[in-house]
């Protein structure tokens, strides 16, 4: 039975792995920008290069350190004091840094974009957004405004994506075995003309000359044999 993730789950799983690099103690977020099933850029939320990272700071009163909370800045003004740049913004910045166009691309993110990132996404001409968790700010009115902004921005798809329990079971039950370790026994070192292969009994000798080995195709010849 084929248990591998579908494309949507595949990219969201990658976004979740990307989020493990986040340096934010409040919400770890990962984002992946994709076009035609190819990854263009990734990003996670964290402070600017060279700036202090909240994850590296000691706890305060038993709570993980947050620069903005340490200053007692209210939620309404958090973007002016948060050290972190958001995952979506960092993914777009990474693409821009390397000259990669994201026009018409799809964004997979573990958290629905805020209004600031949504404007950036729209300006970059990203057309589809799949998110795992809704933003759920402390202001329902603000959340409603953001949802309306999605329509105004011309985003074609803005959809919550849930990874199936079956996919989680497949990935997490034995992730150490999901490697390039050999699963099937190796084939013989030499070809037996009388052997029946998956291609048929005459795969390695010409039709009508059973028992007479055919010249082995070039792609079956080892590198050592080629250089002799």
Look at the block and give the residue holding tokens 């200053």: 71
* Confidence (pTM): 0.78
151: annotated active-site residue? no
CA dihedral 70, 75, 80, 85 (to 10 degrees): 90
Question: Span 6-15, mean pLDDT?
Answer: 97
- Dump pLDDT digits (tens) for 123-156: 999 999 999 999 877 778 887 888 888 888 889 9
**What is the rounded CA–CA span in Å between residue 92 and residue 105?**
11
Q: How confident is the model at residue 181 (pLDDT cuts 50, 70, 90)?
A: confident
pLDDT > 70? residue 212: no
State residue 216's pLDDT score: 47
State residue 47's pLDDT score: 94
Phi and psi at residue 82, to the nearest 5° = -70, 135
- Dump pLDDT digits (tens) for 90-134: 999 999 999 999 999 999 999 999 989 999 999 999 999 999 999
Cβ–Cβ < 8 Å for 102, 127 = no
Cα 170-172-176 angle, rounded to 5 deg: 100
Cβ–Cβ < 8 Å for 113, 135 = yes
pLDDT > 80? residue 83: yes
| Structural tokens at position 171 | 């990935």
Question: Span 66-76, mean pLDDT?
Answer: 87
**What is the rounded CA–CA span in Å between residue 47 and residue 24?**
8
**What is the rounded CA–CA span in Å between residue 191 and residue 227?**
20
Look at the block and give the residue holding tokens 């998110």: 131
- Report in angstroms the alpha-carbon separations of 3 from 6, 49, 108, 176: 9, 39, 21, 16
- Return the half-sphere exposure (C-beta side, CA atoms, 13 A cut-off) of residue 195: 9
State residue 142's pLDDT score: 80
Comparing 60 with 101, the larger pLDDT belongs to: 101
State residue 227's pLDDT score: 46
Cβ–Cβ < 8 Å for 126, 107 = yes
pLDDT > 80? residue 182: no
195: left (phi over 0), alpha (psi -120 to 50) or beta: beta
Among candidate residues 9, 57, 63, 88, the one labeled active-site is 88
166 Cβ contact list (under 8 Å, min separation 6): 3
pLDDT > 60? residue 28: yes
Q: How confident is the model at residue 222 (pLDDT cuts 50, 70, 90)?
A: very low
Comparing 210 with 140, the larger pLDDT belongs to: 140
**How do 106-111 and 128-133 pair as beta strands?**
parallel
Other C-beta atoms lying within 10 Å of the C-beta of residue 53: 17
pLDDT > 60? residue 157: yes
pLDDT > 60? residue 225: no
């Amino acid at each position: 039975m084929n248990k591998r993730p579908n494309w949507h789950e595949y990219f969201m799983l990658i976004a979740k792995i990307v989020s493990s690099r986040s340096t934010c103690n409040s919400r770890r977020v990962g984002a992946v920008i994709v076009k035609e099933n190819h990854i263009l850029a990734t990003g996670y939320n964290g402070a600017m290069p060279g700036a202090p990272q909240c994850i590296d700071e000691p706890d305060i009163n038993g709570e993980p350190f947050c620069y903005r909370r340490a200053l007692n800045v209210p939620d309404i003004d958090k973007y002016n004091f948060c050290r972190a740049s958001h995952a979506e913004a960092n993914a777009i910045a990474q693409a821009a840094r390397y000259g990669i166009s994201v026009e018409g691309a799809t964004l997979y993110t573990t958290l629905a974009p805020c209004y600031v990132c949504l404007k950036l996404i729209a300006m970059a001409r990203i057309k589809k957004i799949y998110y795992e968790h809704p933003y759920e700010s402390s202001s329902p009115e603000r959340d409603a405004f953001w949802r309306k902004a999605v329509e105004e921005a011309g985003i074609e798809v803005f959809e919550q994506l849930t990874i199936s329990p079956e996919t989680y079971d497949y990935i997490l039950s034995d992730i150490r075995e999901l490697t390039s370790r050999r699963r099937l026994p190796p084939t013989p070192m030499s070809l037996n003309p009388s052997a029946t292969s998956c291609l048929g009994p005459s795969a390695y000798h010409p039709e009508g000359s059973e028992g007479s080995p055919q010249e082995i195709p070039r792609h079956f010849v080892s590198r050592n044999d080629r250089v002799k």
